[in-house]
C-alpha cells in the first residue's frame, strides 16, 4: 500500500519524537493513502512561508495482522469519543500500534468543537458528521509499527 505524509520537509525516516499531541489520534506519525489529502496537509506549511513537501512510502499492509490496529471505518460514536479524548490531551491510544480512521478536517473540527463545548449533543454531532466525506488517516503510534514496515520511496514539493 502507498501512503503519503504532508509536511514542510522530506521525511525519510519517520521519528515519533517529533509528533504532536492533542491531535485526532494523539501523538503519532500521520499518513494517508489519499495523495490529494497529503498535498492539502503540506500546503498548510506553504501558507506559513515554508516549503510544502509530500513524502511517499510503501507500507507492507500484510503486517497489520501482527500489529494492534484500531480501525474506525466511519465517523461514529466510538470515533467521536476517541478523537474528543485525544484532542483534549487524553491520548488513550497507547495500546495500539496503528490507528486508522477519519480526519477531523475543518468542517468536522468545527462540529467537534461544538460538541466539546457542550453546545450540541453526541447524537447531533454524529448526525452532522455522517454527511461529511471521510478522509482517511493512518496514525502510527510507535516506532515498532514504522521500522521495517514503512519504506520511504520519494518526496516532492507541492
- Rounded distance between C-alpha atoms, residue 71 and residue 127, angstroms: 20
Q: How many CA atoms lie within 13 A of 37 on its CB side?
A: 19
Question: How far apart (Å, rounded) are the C-alpha atoms in residues 137 and 33?
Answer: 8
Q: What is the pLDDT of residue 120?
A: 92
pLDDT of amino acid 89: 80
- Please list, in sequence order, all residues whose beta carbon lies within 8 angstroms of the beta carbon of residue 90, skipping any fewer than 6 positions away: none
Per-residue confidence (pLDDT) for residue 22, from 0 to 100: 80
pLDDT at 71 over 90: yes
Per-residue pLDDT at 92: 61
User: The dihedral of CA 30, 98, 134, 155: what is its sign?
Assistant: positive
Q: Considering the entire predicted model, what is its pTM?
A: 0.86
Q: CB atoms < 10 A from the CB of 19, how many?
A: 16
Amino acid at each position: 500500500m502507498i501512503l503519503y505524509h504532508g509536511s514542510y520537509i522530506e521525511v525519510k525516516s519517520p521519528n515519533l519524537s517529533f509528533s504532536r499531541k492533542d491531535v485526532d489520534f494523539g501523538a503519532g506519525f500521520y499518513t494517508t493513502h489519499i495523495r490529494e489529502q497529503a498535498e492539502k496537509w503540506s500546503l498548510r506549511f506553504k501558507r506559513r512561508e515554508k516549503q510544502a513537501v509530500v513524502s511517499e512510502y510503501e507500507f507492507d499492509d500484510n503486517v497489520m495482522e501482527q500489529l494492534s490496529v484500531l480501525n474506525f471505518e466511519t465517523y461514529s460514536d466510538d470515533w467521536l469519543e476517541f478523537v474528543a479524548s485525544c484532542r483534549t490531551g487524553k491520548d488513550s491510544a497507547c495500546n495500539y500500534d496503528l490507528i486508522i480512521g477519519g480526519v477531523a478536517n475543518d468542517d468536522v473540527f468545527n462540529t467537534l468543537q461544538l460538541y466539546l463545548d457542550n453546545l450540541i449533543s453526541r447524537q447531533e454531532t454524529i448526525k452532522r458528521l455522517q454527511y461529511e466525506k471521510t478522509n482517511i488517516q493512518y496514525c502510527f503510534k510507535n516506532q515498532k509499527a514504522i521500522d521495517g514496515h514503512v519504506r520511504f520511496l520519494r518526496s516532492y514539493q507541492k
